[in-house]
Amino acid sequence: MREVIRGSERDLLLFSGRAHPELAERIAKELGTGLVPTQARDFANGEIYVRFEQSVRGADCFVIQSHTAPINTWIMEQLIMVDALKRASANSVTVVAPFYGYSRQDKKHKGREPISARLVADLLTAAGADRIITVDLHTDQIVGFFDGPVDHLVALPILADHIAAQTDHARLTVVSPDAGRVRVADRWCDRLGAPLAIVHKKRDKDVAHQVTAHEVVGEVAGRVCVLVDDMVDTAGTICAAAEVLYQNGAADVIVAATHGILSGPAVDRLKNSRVSRFVFTDTLPTAAVDLDKVEVLSIAPVIARAIREIFENGSVTSLFES
C-alpha cells in the first residue's frame, strides 16, 4: 500500500510510534494509505533511536502515538520522532496523541506541585510540533497549554450511539461519577434524551486512589444507569460509584469511558464488579483485556476524518456538528 496521500502542493504522511501500532494501522486504513516505514530501536542503556526510511521534505506529517504504559518512554519516543521530522525539512508536524499523558496534572492542588500537562505541551512545542490532535482531554483547559492549534476530538457520539442501539431509551439514566464530570454527562443526556444523576464522592487528598462514594443525586431506582467518564485507570472510582447505584436500586449499570487505562488492580476490579458492561474506545491498547464484559470501539474513523480535514484545510468543527 502506498504511504503517501498526494495533495495539489504537498503530501500527507503518517507515522506510528511503537506504543499502539494497531490504532495507527486502523487510522491509515481509514485514510486509504499506509504508514511510513520507520526504524525504531532501543540502545542498551534505554536511549531511543528513530529513523524514517523515506523522504519527508515538504510533507505534512502526522505522528501517531498514544501515551500508554510505560508512558514516559512513549512520550519521549514521540518527541524524538517530531525532532527527526523537523530536521528532515517536513512542511508541518502534527502530533496525534489519542490519549494525552499527564492530563490529570492540569492544575496545582497544593503548594510545590507541578502542572505536568503544561510541561508535556511545552516539550512538544520545543521538539517542533505545529499542531496537536487528541481525544477527550481530562479538562478542556489543557487546550490552552499549547501555543499552536489543538483539535480536541470527542468519543461521545461513538460511545453513546453504541449504547443507545442496545438499550431501551425509556429506561436510561446518565450518571456522572463525580461533580467534575457533570458537563460531560449533560452532553450525554442531550444525545440520548435521558435524565441525569450524580454520585457524590469524597477522595482522600493525601492517599492516591482512595475513594469513598456517598449519596446519589437523582432517580436511579429501576433504571439502566450509564456511568460516563473520560478514563478508567485503577477502576476504584467507577466501581465504587457503580456499587452505590446498585445500593440505590439501579436495575443495571453500564460504564462508558473513552480511555481504558486499566492499571494495577483494574482488571480484577472490573471482573469482580456487578457492572454488566464496560465500553471503551481503542485510544489505548485495552483490547488485550480478556473479559467478556469489556467492549472496545474504534476511534480510528474520527481521527482519520480530522486528519483529512486538516490536510485539506477543511473544518474539524464540522465533525462535531454533524
Q: Which residues are catalytic?
A: 201
Query: CB atoms < 10 A from the CB of 154, how many?
Result: 18
Identity (one letter) of the amino acid at 49? Y
Sheet holding 4-6, edge to edge: 4-6, 11-16, 60-64, 92-97, 131-135, 150-153
Both ends of the chain: CA-CA distance in Å? 30
What is the spatial distance between Cα 234 and Cα 244, in angstroms, rounded to a whole number?
18
What is the spatial distance between Cα 321 and Cα 116, in angstroms, rounded to a whole number?
32
Strand partners of residue 173? 225
What is the spatial distance between Cα 192 and Cα 54, in angstroms, rounded to a whole number?
47
Q: Which residues of 16-47 are buried (b: 16+ CB within 10 A; e: fewer)?
A: bbbbbeebbbbbbebbebebbebebeeeeeee
Contact partners, residue 298, CB within 8 Å, separation at least 6: 23, 26, 281, 282
CB of 62 closer than 8 Å to CB of 78: no
Cell of 161: 450511539
Strand partners of residue 279? 256, 295
Cell of 69: 504504559
